[in-house]
Chains A and B, each alone.
Chain A
Amino acid sequence: MEHSAQIASVLTTEKPEPRPLPAYLRLARDPKVVCAGGFIILLMVLAIGAPLIAPQDPLAQNLLNATLPPVGFADAEPGFLLGTDGLGRDVLSRVIYGSRVSLTVAFVAAGLACLIGSLLGLMAGYLGAITDAVISRLVDIWMAFPPVLLSILLIAVIGTGLHSVIIAIVVIDWTRFCRVVRTETMNQAQMDYVIAARTVGFSRPATLFREILPNVVPVLIALLTLEMGIAVVVEAILSFVGLSVSSDTPTWGGMIAEGRQIVHEAWWVLAVPLAALFATVVAFNQLGDGLARSLDPVLRR
């Protein structure tokens, strides 16, 4: 085989086409993916190592040190790099601790929404007929709710707290995965390889999970990353309104709500967590975009 290939390439005097790079190498060469991924890894390190990294106790109040500006401004204290809030708590330490809630929600809520939505989408797309009709109608009804309103409604029903926020995000956002996976499954189900698998005697579940699913996964990974960004924002919104975790746990949304109240006296209490939220959302989004481009064979071309 090797010989004939060499002979063929000599005869035609054409170089053999270079093998396309594996996905992980392509990703490592995309500056957007590297920056965004690097930022998220940094954030994960900060979240996990918060007790070691944060310069101050995020809950320690000291009214004598209230609303100190960030270092570099007049009246700043060197111990409080990004200033203090209205109760004299260190803004930098609170933002570092706040990343714990944000990232927990990002990974757990987005992961569960992905799992549930994909399963229903696979079923709707592959089984068709009544299963598809029921699931699709359900998705339509779901999407008639404004997501922010539905999440607030759900929190009102199940109570506040981290679990509730995660449940609310899963209950709302499974439809995103369901719709995309359903369409993708329908497209894949018509391909020759699926018919071949059925012909050689694969059962329907085996065809679905061993043949179709691996071909849906690239789309799913990109969608999951985008969903993590959405989950971080939803958590921030719910904390902002006061419907997330209790106020003695630092969250970016909770800090933003406090900062909104005293924006005229201490703008940094709003600006710092808002910047953290902005950077995180943009990072997840750029990473998702980059993944979609390098994992999707159609977009790649």
Chain B
Amino acid sequence: MLLAVIVRRAAMALITLAGVAVIVFVLLRVVPGDPVAMMISPGATAADIAALKAHYGLDAPIPEQFRIWAAGIVTGDFGTSITLHLPVTEVLASRLPATVELALLALFVAVILGGGVAIAGTLMRRTAGETVIDGLNSIMLAVPDFIWALALVLLFAVALPVLPLTGRIDPELAEGFATKFYLTESLLTGRIGVAGNILSHMIMPALALALPLAAVIVRLLKQSLKEAMVQDYVLLGRIKGLGELRLVLQEALRNAIGPTLALTGVQFTFLIGGTVIVERIFAYPGIGNLAIDAVINRDFPLIQGLVLLFGLIFILVNVAVDLGVAALNPRLRYA
């Protein structure tokens, strides 16, 4: 049964992705700006321009361009970036690991922070502490990653200048890596000093991405936990003499976590979308920052590749969340 769900999900995902591909392609072809006009030198002749257009396949009719591009995608060829003069696949592969590590670190921070505050709030229920948490959280829920990122810049640039404001790693340390997963690799190979340097670069962007998600987790998880704490099985635990903290962690959390997991999954896609602007603010070399440059430079092949990649990530996350929720909740498995 689970297999049938997966197959149906995958089919839907493919249709959505094809829709994304067509929309992006058509949108970019109706752009008045000409990418070739931006790369030629002022003295270029009409013949030079035509040759350049032919080189990037921009002289063919639009349906033909789409056919070539779509055929390329199927074989893993996304074309050549106009500004970077490199295959799009290569550019994406070299930039994606930075964003993956940042997004996962942010997710981790959000879950720890949000889960911790939700549990603390449940322990403090019906006290002034809970009122403070609820009040702060209702404001936190309104503040987007863009504002957090700049508030962190302000805090760490002026009041507490201890963290680097830009980049992913100090340039002199960025050598001797076998992969582009710098943080994972340095942790696995035991280079703790290097990992510390990478983390000091990542903590601000990760925090900016994590705080809005943490606020969402606090609100939902605390609500679910409070509902669980008045159930009979918690009362039974209390009669058996379990302490308040153990009641929350052992009894209530297990039953209350379901909806939060599902929502966290959905919200994780927003977090990934947020990497675009947050990477820009911290000059972090991921695909989000790349996307803004690609759009400013009208680098069509790169924009198409990036949008498809983001679309694919979104869909994969959604499918993974659906499957995870179904696996955790037997009642949904056959839906």
Which residues of A are at the interface with B, using a C-beta cutoff of 8 A? 137, 140-141, 144-149, 152-157, 159, 229, 233, 236-237, 240-243, 256, 260, 263-264, 267, 270-271, 274, 277-278, 281-282, 284-286, 289
Known: A146-B314, A152-B276. 19 other contacts (CB 8 A): A137-B15, A140-B16, A144-B20, A144-B311, A145-B307, A145-B311, A146-B273, A148-B274, A149-B310, A152-B292, A153-B295, A157-B27, A157-B28, A241-B280, A263-B153, A263-B158, A267-B157, A274-B154, A285-B142
Please give the distance in Å from A238's CB to the nearest CB on chain B.
10
Residues of A within 8 A of B3 (CB): none
A-B contact pairs, 23 of them (CB 8 A): A137-B19, A144-B311, A144-B315, A145-B310, A145-B311, A146-B269, A146-B314, A148-B274, A149-B310, A153-B27, A156-B33, A156-B303, A157-B28, A157-B30, A159-B33, A240-B277, A241-B277, A241-B292, A241-B296, A270-B154, A277-B147, A281-B144, A286-B139
Residues of A within 8 A of B147 (CB): 233, 274, 277-278, 281
User: Given A153-B295, A237-B146, are A267 and B154 also a contact pair (CB < 8 Å)?
Assistant: yes
Question: What CA separation (Å) do A264 and B307 show in the bound complex?
Answer: 35
Please give the distance in Å from B123's CB to the nearest CB on chain A.
26
Residues of B within 8 A of A277 (CB): 147
Residues of B within 8 A of A282 (CB): 139, 142-143
Question: What CA separation (Å) do A155 and B28 show in the bound complex?
Answer: 11
Q: Which of B32, B138, B165, B295 has the most CB of A within 10 A?
A: B295
Q: Within the complex, which residue of A141, A237, A241, A243 is in contact with B16, where a contact is CB–CB below 8 Å? A: A141
CB atoms of B277 and A289 under 8 A apart: no
Any chain A CB within 8 A of the CB of B306?
A: yes
B residues 264-282 in Cβ contact with A at 8 Å: 269, 272-274, 276-277, 280-281
Please give the distance in Å from B219's CB to the nearest CB on chain A.
11
Please give the distance in Å from B234's CB to the nearest CB on chain A.
25
CB atoms of A233 and B146 under 8 A apart: yes
CB atoms of B276 and A146 under 8 A apart: yes
Question: What CA separation (Å) do A157 and B34 show in the bound complex?
Answer: 11
CB atoms of B23 and A141 under 8 A apart: yes
Any chain A CB within 8 A of the CB of B326?
A: no
CB atoms of A156 and B296 under 8 A apart: yes
Question: What CA separation (Å) do A282 and B141 show in the bound complex?
Answer: 9
CB atoms of A149 and B273 under 8 A apart: yes
B residues 84-109 in Cβ contact with A at 8 Å: none
Which residues of B are at the interface with A, using a C-beta cutoff of 8 A? 15-17, 19-20, 23-24, 27-28, 30-33, 138-139, 141-144, 146-147, 150-151, 153-154, 157-158, 165, 269, 272-274, 276-277, 280-281, 288, 291-292, 295-296, 298, 303, 306-307, 310-311, 314-315
Q: Within the complex, which residue of A140, A152, A229 is in contact with B295, where a contact is CB–CB below 8 Å? A: A152
Question: What CA separation (Å) do A157 and B35 show in the bound complex?
Answer: 12
Residue of B nearest to A263 (CB): B157
Residues of B within 8 A of A156 (CB): 31, 33, 295-296, 298, 303
Q: Within the complex, which residue of A153, A157, A236, A281 is in contact with B142, where a contact is CB–CB below 8 Å? A: A281
Please give the distance in Å from A25's CB to the nearest CB on chain B.
23
CB atoms of B143 and A281 under 8 A apart: yes
Q: Within the complex, which residue of B30, B303, B314 is in contact with A153, where a contact is CB–CB below 8 Å? A: B303
CB atoms of B142 and A149 under 8 A apart: no
Residues of B within 8 A of A260 (CB): 150, 153, 281
CB atoms of A286 and B142 under 8 A apart: yes
Please give the distance in Å from A263's CB to the nearest CB on chain B.
5
**Chain A to chain B: the 9 pairs with minimum beta-carbon distance, closest first:** A146-B273, A285-B142, A141-B19, A156-B295, A148-B276, A267-B158, A263-B157, A144-B311, A282-B142
Question: What CA separation (Å) do A286 and B15 show in the bound complex?
Answer: 38
Question: What CA separation (Å) do A236 and B146 show in the bound complex?
Answer: 9
Q: Within the complex, which residue of A145, A157, A274 is in contact with B151, where a contact is CB–CB below 8 Å? A: A274
User: Given A149-B310, A270-B150, are A144 and B16 also a contact pair (CB < 8 Å)?
Assistant: yes
Q: Within the complex, which residue of B30, B280, B314 is in contact with A144, where a contact is CB–CB below 8 Å? A: B314
Residues of A within 8 A of B296 (CB): 156, 241-243
Residue of B nearest to A226 (CB): B142
Residues of A within 8 A of B144 (CB): 233, 281
Residues of B within 8 A of A241 (CB): 277, 280, 292, 296
Residues of B within 8 A of A147 (CB): 273
Question: What CA separation (Å) do A240 and B16 show in the bound complex?
Answer: 31
Residues of B within 8 A of A233 (CB): 144, 146-147
Residues of A within 8 A of B16 (CB): 140-141, 144
